[in-house]
Amino acid sequence: MDPATGQLIDSHHPQRGVNLTGRVVVMPSARGSSSSASVLAEAVRVGTAPAAFVMSEPDLILAIGSAVAEELYGIRIPIVVLPRAGYDAIADGQQIDLEAGPFASHA
- Are the beta carbons of 82 and 53 closer than 8 angstroms? no
33 included as an active-site residue: yes
CB 53 within 8 A of CB 80: yes
Catalytic residue among 11, 33, 34, 66: 33
Question: Would you please indicate which residues are annotated as catalytic (active-site) residues?
Answer: 33
